[in-house]
Amino acid sequence: MGADTDDDGRFSIQVPAGRYRVRVQQIGCEPIHTEIVLSEGGSESLRVALICPRLHCLKLGKARLTPECFRADREERAFVGRACPVHSGTALACDTVPISHGLMVTTRVHVQAERDSFPFARTFSIGSGNSAETAAFTGVAYCSQCRLAQKRWRIRMKQRKSKRH
């Protein structure tokens, strides 16, 4: 049996009297297990303080990054120092970016346009699947010229979108 919470973390479940094991979890936090005993006709309030190391890391931001908040990506690191495939005179550098968990849905036109403007970019989701993983940042190889092109492209897309509305 399960329940989703409201924006304040509150939930309600109707169950018969008895002993229950409760698991509270949130993405990016360590799950908490506790037991409660409900008497006939009674109700119980439960206050839980979740431990969320990944969220803590995100709040710190990359300027105050601690070692447990960073997970190196060997594949990306191997590209650092190589020439950009588009701007051959520009070497790829390393940047620290937030780790993305989840799914990004885009149109085919969007993907093609972004690839044309930022050819070295890859859209992917990295993470161990462990919702309590601490690491919130990783390193990626990027070209400064491609990054500027991507910024210009995003500005143009925002401008087009605002003209439509």
Work out the angle between the directed axes of helices 144-164 and 108-117 (0-180°, nearest 10).
Answer: 140
Residue 133: predicted pLDDT? 56
Does 68 share its domain with 146?
yes
* Residue 85, helix vs strand vs coil: coil
Range of the domain at 94: 53-164
What residue type is assigned to position 15 of the chain? V
pLDDT digits (tens, 9 = 90+) for 1-55: 778 888 787 888 888 889 989 888 887 788 889 998 888 888 888 888 888 887 8
Alpha helices, DSSP H, located in 9-143? 53-60, 74-77, 108-117
Does 64 share its domain with 129?
yes
Q: Which residues pair with 30 in a beta bridge?
A: 51
Does 37 share its domain with 59?
no
Does 27 share its domain with 100?
no
**Tally of domains within the chain:** 2
* Radius of gyration of the chain from its Cα atoms, rounded to whole angstroms: 23
Average pLDDT over every residue of 144-156? 83
Does 68 share its domain with 142?
yes
Integer CA distances (angstroms), 135 to 24, 60, 126, 154, in order:
21, 12, 11, 28
Query: Which of 17, 32, 51 is the C-terminal boundary of a domain?
Result: 51
Does 4 share its domain with 70?
no
Does 65 share its domain with 143?
yes
Residue 120: predicted pLDDT? 46
pLDDT: which is higher, 118 or 141:
141
Does 82 share its domain with 158?
yes
Q: What's the rounded Cα separation, in Å, for the pair 113 and 82?
A: 24
